[in-house]
Amino acid sequence: MIIDLDPGVDDAVALTMALFDPRLDVVAVTAVGGNVPAPQASDNLQALVAFLDPPRLPRIGVAADDAVLPERPYSVHGSDGLGGVELPRVPLHGGHAAEKVIYECLKAHPREITILALGPLTNVSRVLARDPGVAELIGDILICGGTVHAAGNATPAADFNFFCDPRAARHVIREPMTKTLLPLETSSQVLLGFGLLDELPDSFSRAGKILRGMLGHAFRAHRQILGSEGVRLHDVVALVALTNPELFERTTVAADVETDGDLTAGMLVVDRRQIRQWRPNADLLVACDAAAVQDCILRGCAAAAEAT
């Protein structure tokens, strides 16, 4: 698999779990600007991989610095994106652009790779624009993004990932390839309470140290900024949807993304007309077993700690 992410606390937790999951072969991790600007996203990704030192080192792709990100009304990730966890900064020598890394991996493993897209879809869109035929080489793509009932977290109508790059989101959604969407409504069904902190691995392991640091910050930020007594780790739920698809209910939909409009840019639009005019083009995850997903998260965190 390839993980494309904009770390981000929940991205970083998902990455930590994935790198030590024996069921997964993470051949590449690629950064994209989103929760933090592109340079910070690349720095965070490199620092996380270097600190965790997984048994199978993935290729690292650097985020393109030419994307214009919208201003966020708030952020629960802290100024560095990782909740203030201080990791050694390791310079990335000879790093390749994220879209180049994705392209080369797909070419090397045709129809074998699943892309887990946890940030804006900028990188995936650029790969498809570079060579439209590469869509046939993608085994599957699971996208954490969109909101089915226009209950957004970036605007009233859009989630943050689609809002960051609406044209990239539309491009990827419209591509004729197998894809699965995890919208906010479904990932939000998993609310992790403060008791989670007591169940996290201790800080003596590398994974335990960063998980406790990042999630401790996340709980405080959610309470102070959102008034929430728990956290929703959307990207971590997306990873569980990939590893444990039996825990999710899905339906096939015809979807598109609005690219313009002061109120609607980035809005996921599903054709619900009685006589549908659009062709079905995606699977939509509409519900999950929240307790079982939470158990998967705890076991994934424990496994990462045991391995580090």
pLDDT digits (tens, 9 = 90+) for 160-173: 999 999 999 999 99
Long-range Cβ pairs for the range 258-261 (8 Å, 24+)? 258/157, 258/166, 258/170, 259/166, 259/167, 259/170, 260/166
Mean pLDDT for 272-285 is: 93
pLDDT digits (tens, 9 = 90+) for 216-241: 999 998 888 888 889 999 999 999 99
CB 194 within 8 A of CB 220: no
Check residue 94 and give its pLDDT.
Answer: 62
- Sketch the domain layout of the chain as residue ranges: 2-307
* CB-CB neighbours of 295 under 10 Å: 14
DSSP letters for 74-89: --SS-TTSSTT-----
pLDDT digits (tens, 9 = 90+) for 99-114: 999 999 999 999 999 9
Enzyme catalytic residues: 234
Check residue 73 and give its pLDDT.
Answer: 64
CB 41 within 8 A of CB 20: no
Query: Which residues have a Cβ under 8 Å from the Cβ of 121 and sit 6 or more positions away?
Result: 143, 145, 161, 162, 165, 168, 169, 171, 172
Q: Which of 91, 113, 33, 102 is nearest to 66 (CA)?
A: 33
pTM (whole model) above 0.75: yes
Q: Please tell me the distance from the alpha carbon of residue 305 to that of residue 295, in angstroms, as a whole number.
A: 15
Task: Identify the architecture of domain 2-307 in CATH.
Answer: Alpha-Beta Complex (3.90)
Check residue 151 and give its pLDDT.
Answer: 82
Q: Please tell me the distance from the alpha carbon of residue 21 to that of residue 282, in angstroms, as a whole number.
A: 27
Q: Please tell me the distance from the alpha carbon of residue 181 to that of residue 157, in angstroms, as a whole number.
A: 16
